[in-house]
Amino acid sequence: MSVSPAAPPGSVPLNRLGEPLLRRLSGVLDRAAPGRGWRDLAQRAGSHGRVKLSSLELEQCSLKVLEPEGSPSWSLLRLMGERGCTVVELVEFLQALEHTEALQCLSPPGIKIVVQPDPKSVVSGRTVKLCCWATGHPFLHYQWFKQEKEVPHGNSPELIFNPVSVSDSGFYICRVNSDSSFVFSRWAQLDVCDLQGVSYDLQEQSADRPSAIDKVALLIGNMSYWNHPQLKAPMVDVYELTNLLRQLDFKVVSLLDLTESEMRNAVDEFLLLLDKGVYGLLYYAGHGYENYGNSFMVPIDAPNPYRSANCLCVQNILKLMQEKETGLNVFLLDMCRKRNEYDDTILILDALKVTANIVFGYATCQGAEAFEIQHSGLANGIFMKFLKERMLEDKKITVLLDEVAEDMGKCHLTKGKQALEIRSSLSEKRALTDPIQQTGSSAESLARNLQWAKAHELPESMYLDFKCGVQIQLGFAAEFSNVLIIYTRIVKKPPEILVCKAYVTDFPLDLDIDPKEANKGTPEETGSYLVSKDLPKHCLYTRLSSLQKLKEHLIFTVCLHYEYPGIDDSLDERKEVNVGKPLIAKLGIHHGFKENCCKSNRPFHTQASTPVAAEYYLSPNHCQPNSYPGVHHPNNAHSDHFRQPEACHCNVTLNVLTSRQEAWTYSSHIRKNNIPVETTDDTVDLGFSFSNSLRLSKKQ
């Protein structure tokens, strides 16, 4: 690539910045931790001849601390400006110091990067893409840099290497410009391995393999059912699959616990991300059933009993995906497939197109149930346990699923109980690892990326200053597309204050936050087991779930509680914070739905099935044989006696819980509520050779 680099914006001398901005920046540098303070900035700037400062000048800057309003950083910035240092150079120095807080002072509020470039490791000869997307200004310009050099043709949100070579390896950063301001992305490392020594056949295969215009995925995990048995595995399964798909360059929307209208609207938003040649993947974990060849996903607000009118038909979603002329349609349905005896409706669906791009991976066979493994409060579905081990393999999707099925077949625990079923119309070697092949940034690509980016915009970390001199950091992290973690910590406290504590409160009623579960000392106490290792330590944490229900801006209060020595009464200060609509809240999927993609309006009614006797629910030995796929089963009714067989090949530790008395109690509750439930066969023969810390239960 060769083109003359555009003149960099922001070449304004440092001394032309406004005084309020310089004061704010100086304050950040004055209190910075070692390695990021004003002296480190001076040393970094000193590597440039015209900005180099003498020892005497540095000493004069240091003495400013003795003045009432003196600031060493202010003096340093003034000297740098006098020597012609520009804003661009200052930003580069701060980037090298990784001083995020100082960089935020220079970032104008009108521009906000919502998708940061991720590091990539690829083999030479492939197509690779670095992405940086920003919002907040109608006219934005992008400039990519490799180290300090501008990348030729790097003037769009997507920096595409087609093909990528070893010489492209390095660190990249994107500068987003408006007419009068700019902001930098974070650094992203591109690591390219040489193909030397790889056979010609492999290179030829790599050149001829299929590619995707883009790859998007919608992951839904339903657990907290209002009228039906609760589940545990969907949370872990959705989280793990999200991380795996992101490594395969999928744009992932991951959602937990959706009502019927929310599920339908989420699917509508997912369809907006699809286009000709795009790979689309839908994963669902939760209650489900299959009637007359049609699969139904059950929302958390489904009535008791539920029927097709209360659920989403997967085949209807497939039809709409086909209309987008997608390059690949993958459905991974982690749910039961037994027939719903309470649903006497046969849906008359429009015929699907004859296409060779459809793959269904069912967690279990027709008429069978799916199971989950529970361990230390968390759970994994049997299907996901084996799928995640092979998800990143570079193989045709049907071959990959075949190998997952073989792995599941070796697990003695579920042999005869659960087996993966694959349905496919693929005629090409399409894989989830296929590269994204895109020669430019089309209008469709830009719209798709911005639509996805809207659902993943996090509030920026902020610092709140209170009158008493305490400063609090307020940070945010995303656990799922509709689950936000807020963490607070005190970063500055005057020595005269003995004790102080900051907590968040007064959340919108839409989110239904239990105060007892907020402001906890560890993420695990809030229910956030999955992201705890990625969050900063020594904070108070609050988990906000169901962000899709947020109708207005997320406004809450930060309260500071502190005490002075010798004063019995404690003092309080409060600050209201408005962070807009974070993550999925921007898409407004809480709104009511229309007769749309997932709902058929042409039902055909058959004669209702004869009600099953109440005793049917009490005996796990009397599962009614039926050739039709059936109703979804709860995860509690199990036998209380098990044999100790040989070791299971799945290498986990299981212990099937719930005694016969517990099953009786639960079955009585079922009869009262008329839930469409069937039990499994006698579970005496289910094998386990594991510790008591885990348990196996019916997932759905």
DSSP string, 363-411: SS-TT---EEEEETTEEEEHHHHHHHHHTT--S-HHHHHHHHHHHHHT-
Q: Which residues contact 217 (CB under 8 A, 6 or more apart)?
A: 245, 250, 251, 252, 253, 280, 281, 282, 283
Question: What is the fold of 112-207?
Answer: Immunoglobulin-like (2.60.40)
Counting Cα atoms < 13 Å in the Cβ hemisphere of 589 gives: 27
CA distance 151 to 1: 8
Pull the structure tokens for residue 425. Answer: 């119309």
CA distance 164 to 248: 17
- Residue 603 has phi, psi (to 5 degrees) of -80, 155
Let me know: does 94 contact 102? Beta carbons within 8 Å: yes
Q: What is the pTM of this model?
A: 0.65
Counting Cα atoms < 13 Å in the Cβ hemisphere of 378 gives: 13
Q: Give the three-class secondary structure for 43.
A: helix
CATH of 462-581, one of 2.60.40.3360, 3.40.50.300, 1.10.150.120, 1.10.3720.10: 2.60.40.3360
Which pLDDT score is estimated for 608? 35
CA distance 624 to 42: 79
The strands making up 694-698's β-sheet, listed across from edge to edge, are 378-381, 371-375, 694-698
Q: How much of the chain exceeds pLDDT 70, in percent? A: 76
Which pLDDT score is estimated for 258? 95
Q: Note the CATH architecture for domain 213-428+601-700.
A: 3-Layer(aba) Sandwich (3.40)
Which pLDDT score is estimated for 375? 60
What are the catalytic residues? 287, 336
Give the number of other Cβ atoms within 10 Å of residue 181's Cβ: 17
Q: Which residues contact 233 (CB under 8 A, 6 or more apart)?
A: 285, 334, 372, 373, 374, 379, 380, 381, 384, 699
- Type of residue found at 430: R
Which pLDDT score is estimated for 318? 92
Which pLDDT score is estimated for 203? 47
Q: Which residues contact 242 (CB under 8 A, 6 or more apart)?
A: 219, 252, 254, 480
CA distance 565 to 596: 64
The Cα-based distances of 428 to 203, 210, 249, 327, 425 in angstroms read 18, 8, 20, 11, 9
- CA 313 to chain CA centroid, nearest Å: 24
Which pLDDT score is estimated for 54? 84
Q: Does domain 14-106 have CATH number 3.60.70.12?
A: no
Counting Cα atoms < 13 Å in the Cβ hemisphere of 14 gives: 26
The Cα-based distances of 491 to 32, 472, 494, 502 in angstroms read 11, 6, 10, 11
CA distance 445 to 224: 36
Query: Which regions of 520-609 does DSSP assign to beta strands (E)?
Result: 540-544, 555-563, 571-578, 603-605
131-133-134 Cα angle (round to 5): 155
Q: What is the pLDDT of residues 263-300, one digit of tens each?
A: 999 999 999 899 889 999 999 999 999 988 889 999 99
Which pLDDT score is estimated for 137? 65
Same fold, 14-106 and 112-207: no
Domain ranges of the chain: 14-106, 112-207, 213-428+601-700, 462-581
Let me know: does 343 contact 294? Beta carbons within 8 Å: no
Q: What is the pLDDT of residues 237-270, one digit of tens each?
A: 999 999 999 989 899 999 999 999 999 999 999 9
- CA 175 to chain CA centroid, nearest Å: 25
CA distance 549 to 256: 12
CA distance 162 to 125: 8
CA distance 598 to 315: 8
Query: Which regions of 506-548 does DSSP assign to beta strands (E)?
Result: 540-544
CA distance 692 to 669: 27
Q: Give the three-class secondary structure for 61.
A: helix
- CB neighbour class for 372 (10 Å; exposed up to 12, middle 13-18, buried from 19): buried
Give the number of other Cβ atoms within 10 Å of residue 163's Cβ: 16
User: Which residues, given as ranges, of the chain have pLDDT below 70?
Assistant: 1-12, 48-50, 107-110, 137-139, 179-180, 195-207, 347-354, 356, 374-377, 438-443, 591-700
